[in-house]
Structure 1
Amino acid sequence: MIRVANKDDFPTLASIWYTASVEAHDFIPASFWAAQKINMQEVYLPGADTWVFCLDGQLAGFVCHHQGFIPALFVDKSCQLQGIGQQLLTFLQTQYPALSLAVYAKNQAAHRFYQRHGFVETERKTCAHSGEEEIHMHWHQA
């Protein structure tokens, strides 16, 4: 089930984000992500339109939308590879006619995931926060 996130969800979502970020981005020190966890919980999640995926009454993943951009799509490690990320992304694609995002070039699994869902690369540039190369991608309804 996908529903709108509420403020009580934010601590759990920040934990899902942190754990998934550290694992998917092992090329960036965990301290980088740890330094952002409070901002994720108190600024970024409340500042975006955020939806959660509930599985058996538990928060299993979430997706955020902010001004045409997807700043976050993360699934709890114990729930990955069950189609939750795909369902969250497909949900957004039914809500908006165009979406953009950025993914780290070294996160090849995420890059392939978005390509499979119709996103195309628009540019590559260095992330000002991490110094890592990002791939910017865009999708629009046909």
Structure 2
Amino acid sequence: MNSDRTTLRRAHARDAVDAADVWLRSFSAALPTVRRAHDDDEVRDWFATVVVPRQETWVAVAAGSVVGVLVLDGEELAQLYLDPPWRGRGLGDRFVRLAQRRRPSGLSLWTFQINGPARRFYERHGFAAVERTDGLGNEEREPDVRYVWPSPPL
């Protein structure tokens, strides 16, 4: 399967658990050394009670299954996670283009400094690193980096 067989659509309440499970699988695969601040059930509850009902949540659906999730919270690209088998197939590119169309005045996001593939991905899409932290401000206590798009003028 490739990403042209996927549909991007707004998430419904019934998608919350599936979107959370994509988040869980993706986080575990991409960030095996990062301590998760919440267990699986807490993540599923957060998606069901906060993410899907209160934030602009999009899902990628292939053959009836959720395979990716994008969350916009105001001007922040708050979440972009793909089921591990769907990485590298263009689905992330489609999600970023959607986010940029939805927020043409600009976006910001945080990612962990250790996540080199995500950092390269966002930089390829025109995001620029503007701030780095020691991680004391996030629940995982992992050094992170803030990106903005469009890139600020030099």
TM-score normalised by structure 1 residue count: 0.90
How many residues matched? 141
The answer (yes or no) to whether the contact 1:18–1:34 under 8 Å persists in 2 is no
Structure 1: which 5+ runs fail to align?
Answer: none
The residue number in structure 1 matching 2:147 is 137
Rate the CA distance shift 1:42–1:123 in 2: closer, same or farther, 3 A. Answer: same
The residue number in structure 1 matching 2:11 is 5
Aligned-residue identity in percent:
25
What letter corresponds to residue 71 of structure 1 in structure 2? A
Match of 2:39 among 31, 34, 41: 34
TM-score normalised by structure 2 residue count: 0.84
The answer (yes or no) to whether the contact 2:77–2:99 under 8 Å persists in 1 is no
Secondary structure of residue in 2 paired with 1:131: coil
Q: 1:59, 1:128 → 2: CA distance?
A: 27
The residue number in structure 2 matching 1:16 is 22
**2:127 equivalent to 1:119:** yes
The answer (yes or no) to whether the contact 2:59–2:70 under 8 Å persists in 1 is yes
1:33, distance to aligned residue in structure 2 (A): 4.3
What letter corresponds to residue 13 of structure 1 in structure 2? A
Q: Which has the higher strand share?
A: 1
Rate the CA distance shift 1:141–1:27 in 2: closer, same or farther, 3 A. Answer: closer
1:129, distance to aligned residue in structure 2 (A): 1.0
The answer (yes or no) to whether the contact 2:26–2:82 under 8 Å persists in 1 is yes
Q: What RMSD in Å do the two structures reach over aligned CA positions?
A: 1.8
4+ runs deviating over 6 angstroms: none
The answer (yes or no) to whether the contact 1:13–1:41 under 8 Å persists in 2 is no
Match of 2:53 among 34, 42, 46: 46
**2:77 equivalent to 1:67:** no
CA-to-aligned-CA distance 1:60-97 (integer Å, 9 cap, x gap): 11101001001100111222221111101111111212
What letter corresponds to residue 2 of structure 1 in structure 2? L
Structure 2: which 5+ runs fail to align?
Answer: 1-6
